[in-house]
Amino acid sequence: MSRRIIPVADISAMPDYSGPAHAPRGELTDTLARPLRDLRISVTDRCNFRCVYCMPRAVFDKDYPFLPHGALLTFEEIERLARVFVEHGVEKIRLTGGEPLLRKNLEFLIERLAVLKTADGRPLDLTLTTNGSLLARKARSLKDAGLTRVTVSLDALDDALFRRMNDADFAVDDVLKGIEAAHDVGLAPVKVNMVVKNGTNDTEIVPMARHFKGTGAVLRFIEYMDVGTSNGWNMTEVLPSADVIARIAAHFPLIPLEAHSAAETAQRWGYADGSGEVGVISSVTRAFCGSCTRARLSTEGKLYLCLFASSGHDLRALVRNGASDAEIATAVARIWHTRADRYSQLRGSAGATPNAAEERRVEMSYIGG
């Protein structure tokens, strides 16, 4: 009988909000002076793909204990928490999963979030990451609800390879139609993320670049990461981003582009002929922890301060035990003020690949990528 890997048990207590209140003023910083600017909200732990690097079927099978519906944050609870985070300085909210488009009536949540304004009165950058399988039929309603942009995960153009990687027999054409639909309704620029697994889909790097060149889509290549504990991560399967750029540049001359902001995770490159750009996210070979401004709210309301965290802070308990908005704001402030997470930076400096059982981390399907 194979060993089952389940989500990390979170033994953290309900966050403390006793003592002096911390009123939101649009600016929180952690122990490394990093502000809170981005919030990623996972709306479901379920997905209709079984990608080998995220939710391998050997673990996430038909008997896997997904969260019951009552454990999920309601849309009202998500809106309430999001409002607190925005008052603390969050300017961008990304809805993730699992596959977020599996969450019934997601448009209702988007409508609630779309009316929120940043601390200086600007509209939120409200985005969503999806595998694209349902996007063609949902793009218009998502846009009408107030969604700003979408990011679509696509790991190969070769249909047979793509079906093997998603392990759910979904066709590439379904995802490409979703990308086209998103572009047509104005969820643009559409970002397309390809996780590169050396020896598995690295032959698709140049075909992907060629396909999306000149389309307006922004292509991002992501180094295969050691997220969670279920994907059997191995450093030999990481193709450094420098090699990705070298492969593309051998076919299409590239010029480096400046980052949009200090917190941007991607290194950007433009095609020399002006027909678009590509980017690389080098979370393994070039850690960007020092500029990380992201917090993650899991499907059941745990606040995680790092993609590689092993435990979170139970905000759902605060909400369902009657805490006021001021008390929730105080708890969030105290949590962020003590944040010192910099996993990728420490992993790189140590030259190690921490993946031992005692360091078991939360799965990506619970907090999004």
Q: Is 47 annotated as a binding residue?
A: yes
Helix (H, G, I), strand (E, B) or coil at 201: coil
Sign of the CA dihedral with 125 first, then 129, 130, and 131 last: positive
Q: Is 44 annotated as a binding residue?
A: no
Q: Is 57 annotated as a binding residue?
A: no
What torsion, rounded to 10 degrees, do the Cα atoms 292, 52, 226, 131 define? 0
Amino acid at 242: A
Amino acid at 103: R
Distance CA 312, CA 28 (A): 18
Q: Is 54 annotated as a binding residue?
A: yes
Q: Is 236 annotated as a binding residue?
A: no
Q: Is 294 annotated as a binding residue?
A: yes
Angle between helices 205-212 and 241-249 (to 10 degrees): 60
Q: Is 330 annotated as a binding residue?
A: no
Distance CA 164, CA 368 (A): 22
Pair 156, 162: CB distance under 8 Å: yes
Token pair, residue 305, equals: 């301060």
Q: Is 53 annotated as a binding residue?
A: yes
Q: Is 247 annotated as a binding residue?
A: no
Q: Is 4 annotated as a binding residue?
A: no
Nearest to 82 by CA among 304, 305, 312, 332: 332
First to last CA, the chain: 30
Amino acid at 212: F
Q: Is 40 annotated as a binding residue?
A: yes
Q: Is 191 annotated as a binding residue?
A: yes
Distance CA 329, CA 81 (A): 9
Q: Is 98 annotated as a binding residue?
A: yes
Amino acid at 140: R
Q: Is 353 annotated as a binding residue?
A: no
Q: Is 25 annotated as a binding residue?
A: no
Cα angle for residues 71, 133, 178 (degrees, 5° grid): 125
Annotated binding site for S-adenosyl-L-methionine, which residues?
53, 98, 153, 225
Annotated binding site for GTP, which residues?
40, 94, 129, 191, 294-296
Annotated binding site for [4Fe-4S] cluster, which residues?
47, 51, 54, 289, 292, 306
Annotated binding site, which residues?
40, 47, 51, 53-54, 94, 98, 129, 153, 191, 225, 289, 292, 294-296, 306
